[in-house]
A and B are shown apart, each in its own frame.
Chain A
Amino acid sequence: MSDFTTLKSQTNAGAAVTDASPTWVDMPFATANNELRLCASGAGTTTTPSASWPSFLRPAVTQVIAEMWAYTADAVGLKMATYDGTSAHYMQWRINWDALGTFASPWILSAAKDNTLPAASPGTQPTPSAGGDGSSFINGSADTSNTSYIKANAYGRGTAASGSVQDTPNANAGGTLAVTTGTAGAVSPPVTPAWLATWQSLQSATQWITGAVTNQALFAGFLYIVLSFWTGPGMTGGLLMPVLYFQYTWV
């Protein structure tokens, strides 16, 4: 069959969620005032209006952005309790597809400065007043050795090419994760299955993650991913809104 009827991202969100006991909710960001917000450790609350969301001051040294919040209204949010920017988690996000579609090639995971998905300009930060897109994150700087400030890891294949096998993690991503982590071109998580030994920078068509196989046709599955957002003295501030995307083919 052709395209998937259901293909969506889900996040493990809520005050009490853990890696071992996740609660998967559809990403509720398709309507007004629904958004994902990042802030420093201890700075977020469940009731902060968007206009009052705490600024993240540019640090003197590179560091992880330690909190992520999912807001379903201007002042109604949930902390993503299993996100802290480190590699010590395994249930943060997943891509969820149904059994009605047929992949024609392996999936791709990357990030771009806006929804036109343009190429990155590695190492080039926008002018301070520009803001409004995600180029500060995507392009990186000397802080990141010109990789993206957004790092990701993915577990196995999602689903195998055949045999109705689902790859579901039960241990932390671990592996090498630093502000400079990133490999040119594509990397693929092991089919064992396992997490990538070295996290990948998500930088448009410069650095991305792709599946090692074409996932089984007409078989529902999940692809588990974990993320880490960084910042540093070389980053231009502003209202930064990168686009993370899952790319796929079908017939």
Chain B
Amino acid sequence: MGLTSFAYLAQGLSYWKVKLRGRKRELSELDTSFDLQRGARPVDWSLDIVGSGDNAHIEEIILCTPQGEVKMPITEPKTAFQFKRGTMDILSNQRIVQAQVIGRLENRETGLCTACIWDVAGHDEYSEAGVLLPQKKHLYLDFVTYIHAFGAWHEDIIPPGAMYPLVIGL
């Protein structure tokens, strides 16, 4: 684990990695990329995955979180997606990252998808017996929803709604 990765996770944040078919090395949003127009810059999902066409070659998408890595195998081209959600307090201009989402489109016609979510602030959840769990839940696995009406992963948040497929990688 590199220093940047350690710093990210220590702040309670997550980041994505992908394995691309036919390539040994994983690509992460913490890596550095280069292009003639922008020079050296952080790897960017739009430019380096979607823009490059590599979203057709993703073999596995990984969400690296303070609670470990979540891996989602990808078998169909252009079915892996990723996005972040943030909030700006209008009265203070403070911005926070609320969540990061990776996922896999399961049905292109219906938009059915499976997602894994790192919720930065976490949420109080109850056990099946109705007892409040001792720690907030941050990691939501195998969340089933629709890409055209992405749902809320807990009751305190507003559903993100209709995701823009081309932007997120589909």
Contact = CB atoms under 8 A, between A and B. Distances in A.
B88 A102 contact: no
Interface string B70-89: 00000000000011111111
Contacts of A245: 87-90
Contacts of A29: 91-93
A21 interface: no
B98 interface: yes
B61 interface: no
A27 B46 contact: no
Nearest to B83: A104
Interface stretch (B18-26, B103-111, B127-135, B156-164): B156-164
B150 interface: yes
A208 B47 CA distance: 32
B168 A251 contact: yes
Contacts of A108: 158, 160-161
B160 A243 contact: no
B87 A119 contact: no
B156 A105 contact: no
Given A8-B93, A30-B93, A93-B90, A205 B46 contact: no
Given A1-B47, A119-B155, A186-B161, A250 B87 contact: no
A244 interface: yes
Contact of B88 (A9, A93, A205): A9
Nearest to B155: A119
B85 A249 contact: yes
A2 B46 contact: yes
Contacts of A105: 83, 150, 160-164
B90 A95 contact: yes
Contacts of A181: none
B92 A210 contact: no
A118 B156 CA distance: 5
B155 A205 contact: yes
Interface of B: 42, 44-47, 50, 82-95, 98, 121, 150, 152, 155-158, 160-164, 167-169
Interface of A: 1-3, 7-9, 26-27, 29-30, 36, 93, 95, 102-106, 108, 110, 115-119, 186, 204-205, 208, 210, 214, 217, 243-251
22 contacts: A1-B47, A9-B90, A27-B90, A29-B91, A95-B88, A104-B83, A104-B168, A108-B160, A108-B161, A110-B158, A115-B89, A116-B121, A117-B157, A118-B156, A119-B156, A210-B161, A245-B87, A246-B88, A247-B158, A249-B163, A250-B86, A251-B50
The 5 tightest CB contacts between A and B, nearest first, are: A214-B164, A251-B45, A244-B90, A9-B90, A104-B83
